[in-house]
């Protein structure tokens, strides 16, 4: 039995399309059950629940911070330590797959794409332009893993004076953003699917949602903190797939970056970047379900 273990809505969003195609249970039943998780935190909790078999479905774009040795094996990222008991990794691209294969050569790794993409809504017709702002949580183990919020916050009130309708979003671990948005008269939109329904441009520092929004065919602006190091090539957002959107390196340049994004003249660059991030852009859920069933079948054959 496949048992989903997820405690964050944005993690379950990655599991739900796969679970719909699998026989699964809602609770721990017996020692032969397999925990399907989408995060390192859920893996830890599944271990505490006495599961012994694990499948990790990589949530997001598979970003890692392997550009320098000291951050190359963070547990929650591809190739991270303390994942040795995972039997199958489901990943969106070869970047993540290579990292998991190198660290855990005995594990199965399936490149499936991102199951979440098939369910993302496109823009609902309505007045605009609507600009969505979003920021990553303040991870401190690497400058690139952190947030550019402090570098761009002062520019946000000025955007409202330019005639844009601004909505606010953020990583679920950013507890301070809703109150910041409210203080500035900006509506906080919690669900990323609602952002996709409403926004014309997505402005963000570091998140898989950058690529997810771009995959719906709309422009993105990438906010680069001065702390982000161009000479440290972590891959994907930093920097192979960074051409997915307009690069903005300072608060003063933000209005011009948004204006450029609204012209949407970077379709070719966006498509090339998305090809790096997503090995497949449709059918990922079925591909993942097939990989799970194949892996589970091999376990039964061995038993």
Average pLDDT over residues 86-102: 98
pLDDT at 26 exceeding the cut of 70: no
pLDDT at 303 exceeding the cut of 60: no
Same domain, 141 and 221: yes
Average pLDDT over residues 249-260: 97
Percent of the chain, pLDDT > 90? 87
* Tens-digit pLDDT profile for residues 199-216: 999 999 999 999 999 999
Same domain, 40 and 66: yes
Same domain, 97 and 42: yes
Distance (Å, rounded) from C-alpha 234 to C-alpha 79?
12
pLDDT at 27 exceeding the cut of 60: no
Instruction: Write down the pLDDT at residue 174.
Output: 92
- Look up residue 245 and give its DSSP letter: S
Instruction: Write down the pLDDT at residue 230.
Output: 96
Instruction: Write down the pLDDT at residue 142.
Output: 97
Instruction: Write down the pLDDT at residue 29.
Output: 58
Average pLDDT over residues 217-238: 98
Average pLDDT over residues 287-301: 90
Instruction: Write down the pLDDT at residue 246.
Output: 98
Same domain, 263 and 149: yes
Distance (Å, rounded) from C-alpha 62 to C-alpha 277?
8
Same domain, 175 and 272: yes
Same domain, 262 and 273: yes
Same domain, 24 and 134: no
CA proximity to 164, closest of 140, 198, 211, 129:
129
Going by their DSSP bridges, the two strands 34-37 and 53-57 should be labelled as: parallel
- Spell out the residues 6+ positions from residue 118 whose beta carbon is closer than 8 angstroms to its own: 17, 282, 283, 284, 285
Tally of CA atoms within 13 A in the half-sphere of 208 that contains its CB: 22
Average pLDDT over residues 57-80: 96
- Give the model's confidence band at 300: pLDDT under 50 very low, under 70 low, under 90 confident, else very high: confident
Into how many domains does the chain fold? 2
* Tens-digit pLDDT profile for residues 166-203: 999 999 999 999 999 999 999 999 999 999 999 999 99
Between 19-28, 47-56, 102-111, 151-160, the lowest mean confidence (pLDDT) is in 19-28
Instruction: Write down the pLDDT at residue 7.
Output: 87
Q: In what order do the strands lie in the sheet with 53-57?
A: 2-5, 34-37, 53-57, 86-91, 108-111
Same domain, 92 and 140: no
pLDDT at 298 exceeding the cut of 90: no
Instruction: Write down the pLDDT at residue 292.
Output: 96
Distance (Å, rounded) from C-alpha 99 to C-alpha 73?
9
Instruction: Write down the pLDDT at residue 87.
Output: 97
Give the CATH number for residue 160: 3.40.50.2000
pLDDT at 151 exceeding the cut of 80: yes
Instruction: Write down the pLDDT at residue 10.
Output: 87
- Look up residue 176 and give its DSSP letter: S
Instruction: Write down the pLDDT at residue 128.
Output: 87
Same domain, 33 and 169: no
Residue 69 is part of which domain span?
2-114+280-302
Instruction: Write down the pLDDT at residue 28.
Output: 53
Same domain, 136 and 201: yes
Same domain, 270 and 132: yes
Instruction: Write down the pLDDT at residue 32.
Output: 80
> pLDDT averaged over the chain?
94
Same domain, 72 and 96: yes
């Amino acid at each position: 039995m496949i048992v989903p273990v997820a405690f964050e809505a944005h993690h379950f969003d990655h599991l739900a399309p796969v679970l719909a195609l699998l026989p699964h249970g809602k609770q721990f039943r017996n020692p032969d059950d397999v925990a399907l998780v989408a995060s390192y935190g859920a893996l830890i909790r599944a271990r505490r629940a006495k599961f012994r078999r694990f499948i990790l479905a990589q949530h997001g774009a598979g970003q890692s911070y392997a550009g320098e040795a000291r951050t190359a094996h963070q547990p929650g990222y591809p190739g991270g330590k303390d994942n040795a008991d995972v039997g199958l990794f489901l990943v969106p691209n070869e970047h993540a797959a290579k990292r998991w294969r190198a660290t855990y050569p005995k594990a199965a790794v399936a490149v499936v794409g991102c199951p979440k993409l098939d369910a993302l809504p496109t823009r609902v017709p309505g007045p605009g332009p609507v600009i969505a702002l979003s920021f990553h949580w303040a991870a401190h183990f690497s400058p690139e893993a952190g947030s550019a919020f402090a570098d761009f916050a002062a520019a946000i009130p000025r955007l409202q004076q330019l005639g844009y309708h601004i909505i606010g979003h953020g990583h679920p671990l950013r507890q301070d953003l809703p109150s910041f948005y409210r203080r500035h008269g900006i509506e906080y939109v919690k669900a990323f699917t609602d952002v996709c329904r409403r926004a014309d441009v997505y402005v963000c520092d570091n998140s898989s949602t950058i690529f997810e929004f771009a995959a719906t065919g709309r422009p993105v602006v990438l906010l680069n903190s001065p702390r982000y190091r161009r000479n440290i090539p972590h891959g994907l957002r930093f920097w192979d797939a960074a051409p997915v959107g307009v690069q903005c390196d300072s608060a003063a340049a933000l209005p011009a970056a948004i204006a450029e994004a609204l012209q949407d003249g970077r379709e070719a660059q966006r498509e090339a970047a998305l090809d790096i991030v997503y090995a497949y852009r449709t059918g990922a859920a079925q591909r993942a379900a097939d990989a799970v069933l194949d892996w589970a079948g091999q376990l039964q054959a061995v038993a």
